Chains A and B, each alone.
Chain A
């Protein structure tokens, strides 16, 4: 039986992977929490109540209160917005740059490709979130700066994948035929090559969202993410770890949120890879 080739068919194929199905369910919950945060959150995430600081879970505060007496559950729900915004925003910006740079390098070859490869080699020499730490440190804590810091390196992965794909697709016969009938180069790239190189990017982008969410949380943990008092899961852990002896829930609650979200994206990525039968190579 044919399954079709649209988005629905892809979701159906991906959800056959048990982990991916669980991941999609979790992600749906996470998305709902993020979109409807002001409605769902029981309290104002910024409202302080200093005399109740560090209280544990109770009937009125299900996940307890932080050192300022703010409701942890409400901060967690609002934090989902930030995580999602950073995850999607970083991947969006990185994809745009990566698609443009990688496809041009692969399509044009020669000097453009050499410059591209050199730039990638330089940026990849900065391990993990080191460069993002450096940039965020000098730019100061803000949403825009986090997005900028993470995108500076974020595009490289997509660009390398797309370059490899373009290099392989551009030698196929149908591309030669299109070129032979006089299709202009840009149209050739946009209409004939890129659509056939997009599957691995989808997989890579899914993992990329998870990476961006972790990176933002890492920056916020170090105090370099979004400026306080905005609720970020990373800064909640960063503040909470100083009270591990008296209020461990301050670390475990946001920790569980990050862990579940990242696992959800990783499982969906694995499922997508199987569904699209993609082997990502970047050489």
Chain B
């Protein structure tokens, strides 16, 4: 396990460097002078020079890259152009909201997908299977920028049951979590169905039932357990997708997380903050993918020896 761990960690290092480099290059994709774009045409030369110095844009590109790179381990992602506060501090304040939303939507997805996927696999070719397949296809085809407003229309405007926006662990969380979790629930349902069907075909299930174990127990105790390893991988990998999707979901519901902060930063042309948000979301994705791989290697020893 230690060798696998070391190898996996080593493979993460170039990815982190690559992500940091891409994020650094973002600001250099601006058409024209970033300083002029941020300050507008009416700014006086002295203001421009000051901002240029502050953003380290007055130095050669390689030197800028060097200090950007060196700042990251110290938590120095620059200063927000609008609030004049450290970028990392601004982001850190938003992390709990995004984590709460992400964790809840993943929980919703798992609680929907597990029973639906198992039901579809056990009733293969029957109406329940078709129904769950159609529901999954529908959910996969509804983008969250459509699902969110539709849920608001139904549950807030028509039924008056849930708030349109707000922040908290209770009622305000329901619609954002369902919006963000629906796509993942659909993916997981398909996955649980497919992996469980594959396991059910294996000889050990037949052997278990031949020995007198009820089919239901053979499924629950043996097949489902083995079917869950790829599902755990999918779950871990979809955490990144949840973080990416949170940008739109948080915008719809004015949820005060990193995604919303990113869009606010874009609107304010606060590019250091934009860079910081993109970097933090991408690096969190890398970290969760790493953790998922390690967890799977622990769950399934075959992975370590491949």
Q: Which residues of A contact B (CB under 8 A)?
A: 19, 118-119, 121-123, 125-131, 133-135, 137-140, 210, 214, 217-218, 221-224, 234, 237-238, 240-241, 244-245, 248, 251-252, 255, 258-259, 262-263, 266-267
Contact = CB atoms under 8 A, between A and B. Distances in A.
Contacts of B15: 118, 121-122, 125
Give the residue among B143, B266, B278 with the most A Cβ atoms within 10 A: B143
Contacts of A129: 244, 247
Interface in B92-133: none
B282 A125 contact: yes
Given A125-B282, A128-B245, A139-B31, A134 B26 contact: yes
B263 A222 contact: yes
B149 A133 contact: no
Contacts of B18: 118-119, 121-122, 125
A266 B141 contact: yes
Interface string B161-183: 00000000000000000000000
A224 B283 CA distance: 23
B153 interface: yes
Given A125-B286, A134-B26, A263 B138 contact: yes
B281 A244 contact: no
A237 B145 contact: yes
A126 B282 contact: yes
A234 B248 CA distance: 12
Given A121-B15, A134-B278, A217 B143 contact: yes
Given A118-B18, A122-B22, A262-B141, A241 B252 contact: yes
Nearest to A210: B141
Interface of B: 11, 14-15, 18-19, 21-23, 26-27, 29-31, 137-138, 140-143, 145-146, 148-150, 152-153, 157, 240-245, 247-248, 251-252, 262-263, 266-267, 271, 274-275, 278, 281-283, 285-286, 289
29 contacts: A19-B137, A122-B15, A122-B18, A122-B19, A123-B22, A125-B19, A125-B285, A125-B289, A126-B285, A127-B242, A127-B243, A128-B243, A130-B244, A130-B282, A133-B262, A134-B26, A134-B278, A217-B143, A218-B248, A222-B248, A224-B266, A241-B148, A241-B149, A241-B152, A251-B153, A252-B150, A255-B146, A259-B141, A266-B141
Given A122-B15, A214-B143, A262-B143, A248 B274 contact: no
A121 to B, nearest CB: 5
Contact of A259 (B29, B146, B289): B146
A131 B145 contact: no
A251 B26 contact: no
A255 B150 contact: yes
A113 B165 CA distance: 48
A222 B141 contact: no
B252 A245 contact: no
A251 B282 contact: no
A255 B241 contact: no
A134 B274 contact: yes
Given A248-B157, A266-B140, A266-B141, A130 B247 contact: yes
B42 to A, nearest CB: 19
What are the 5 closest A-B residue pairs judged by CB atoms, nearest first?
A128-B244, A122-B18, A127-B244, A127-B240, A221-B145
Given A133-B278, A267-B137, 14 more contacts: A122-B14, A123-B22, A125-B240, A125-B285, A125-B286, A126-B19, A130-B278, A134-B26, A134-B275, A137-B274, A138-B30, A140-B31, A245-B157, A251-B150
A139 B145 CA distance: 22
B130 to A, nearest CB: 11
Give the residue among B140, B152, B243, B244 with the most A Cβ atoms within 10 A: B244
A200 to B, nearest CB: 17
Nearest to B240: A127
A122 B18 CA distance: 5
Nearest to A250: B149
A125 B244 CA distance: 10
A122 B278 CA distance: 13
A95 B143 CA distance: 23
A234 B282 CA distance: 25
Contacts of A224: 266
A238 B145 contact: yes
B247 A258 contact: no
Nearest to B269: A137
Nearest to A133: B247
B14 A118 contact: yes
Contacts of B263: 222
Nearest to A267: B137
A123 to B, nearest CB: 8
Contacts of B262: 133
A224 B285 CA distance: 23
Contacts of A258: 143, 146
B149 A138 contact: no
